[in-house]
Amino acid sequence: MRTITVDQVRGHFRRAALEHGFVLDPAQEQAADRLAELGAALGRGRRRGPFRRTPPRGLYLWGPVGRGKSWLLDTFFEAVALPAEHRTRVHFHAFFRRLHEAVRRHRDDHGHEHSAIDAAVSELLGDVELLCFDEFHVHDPGDAMLVTRLLRELHARGVVLVTTSNYPPAGLLPNPLYHHLFEPTIREIEQRMDVATVAGPRDYRTLPGAAAADTAFTRGAILWPGDPEQLRGEGLEPPAPAEAVTLRVNNRDLRVAAARADVLWCGFDVLCEGRTSALDYLVLAETYATWVIDRIPPLKSATGEARQRFVNLIDVCCDADVRLFLSSDRPLEELLAGDDLPTDIVRTASRLSLLRRVG
Ligand SMILES: Nc1ncnc2c1ncn2[C@@H]1O[C@H](COP(=O)(O)OP(=O)(O)O)[C@@H](O)[C@H]1O
Ligand SMILES: [Mg+2]
């Protein structure tokens, strides 16, 4: 098996930064050093066979949005000397959705929860030795149980975990009603992983030119006042009443204004005030490349659940690279104003700042 030294991984970070024209800030340098050590240790490790070694400790990188955490993770992932079938890099949302599905399927076969999770993890990860989760988070007490089991299973298999998160481990499952349920798992994370902050002085997404990254997401727009004239100007024909249709998503009915070949048109109330989950958004994102979400109210007038769903919705659309149009009769500043919005709203605002503003 190919081996790689700490200096070689460091060199990879340097070259990647140079190619992008980045100057790494001190927080990024430190994280890159930790990742280089981990990369070299992974290259040395033999996990199977009679000379099985203890795998190196995982690494949990956390910090505010736009600090280059995902970039560090991607660059590390390219550098490690593991064959493709032994490493996986996934967005946590996407992985977790697949895990849910696989557990449900295996539960029907095995009838037993523990073996269902075991079988689901085997199915999803096979021989993976390195698992990289981008945007690790836990918001839902139901999800927290499965996250706990997943982390234990990964540990038992000797899978090395590298995550990025906007939260320190102690800030996971922030809801004070449920936080205590996750505390034992938080302690396990802290015992098994090194924790490092990537909290440089600036949000690189707000640098001039940063939004120029040409993705489907950045070709979307925020439309105010979102009247038919303005929508047509963006090539979006407002739905006729007859286009309203009920979509069945993860055993739930969603009444949307239109579901065309690749455009989903839906009201905020349906997507965020109904009992939808991030998993539903992921499924929809796989089918519809362009979304128009209209009638977005100022979030402070929405329910707490709807505010959190809106945060998840923007995360899913950004990560799945959906071309997103938000339309409202209020300007963006009013939509996001308020004191008791979810703390993640900062990430939402950062991501929405990538969209064009029309109005
Ligand atoms: N040192 C840097 N200088 C300039 N831009 C950077 C630097 N590090 C990262 N970026 C860019 O900043 C943007 C945000 O980085 P990202 O990795 O998505 O942040 P995070 O995952 O912490 O939210 C990306 O476009 C990334 O390529
Ligand atoms: Mg990121």
pLDDT tens figures, 106-118: 988 767 777 899 9
Q: Nearest ligand to the C-alpha of residue 203? A: 1
Atom of ligand 1 nearest to the CA of 200: 1
Please work out whether the CB of residue 74 comes within 6 Å of at least one atom of ligand 1: no
Radius of gyration of the chain (CA): 21
Work out the angle at residue 339's Cα, subtended by the Cα atoms of residues 335 and 340, and round it to the nearest 5 degrees: 95
Query: DSSP character for 84?
Result: G
The model scores a pTM over 0.75: no
Task: Identify the pLDDT of residue 98.
Answer: 85
Write down all domains in the chain, each with its CATH number in brackets: 6-197 (3.40.50.300), 208-358 (3.40.50)
Residues whose CB falls within 8 Å of the CB of residue 165, separated by 6 or more in sequence, listed in order: 60, 61, 62, 69, 135, 136, 137, 172
> What is the pLDDT averaged over residues 212-240?
88
Q: Which of 39-48, 196-205, 238-247, 261-270 has the lowest mean pLDDT?
A: 39-48
If one compares 250 and 35, the residue with the highest pLDDT of the two is 35
Per residue in 282-295, pLDDT (tens digit) is 889 988 999 999 99
User: Which atom of ligand 1 approaches the CA of 65 most closely?
Assistant: 23
Residue 236: name the closest of 213, 254, 219, 253 by CA.
Answer: 219
Q: Whose CA is nearest to atom 3 of ligand 1?
A: 22
Structure confidence at residue 197 as a pLDDT band (50, 70, 90): very high
- Break the chain down into helix, strand, coil percent, rounded to 5: 50, 15, 35
Cβ of 204 less than 6 Å from ligand 1: yes
70 lines ligand 1 (CB under 6 A): yes
Task: List pLDDT tens digits, range 144-165.
Answer: 999 999 999 999 999 999 999 9
Question: Strands of 193-197's sheet, edge to edge?
Answer: 87-91, 130-134, 160-165, 58-62, 193-197
Average pLDDT over residues 264-271: 97
90's tokens:
């996934």
Residues counted in the chain? 359
The pLDDT, as a whole number, for residue 56 is: 94
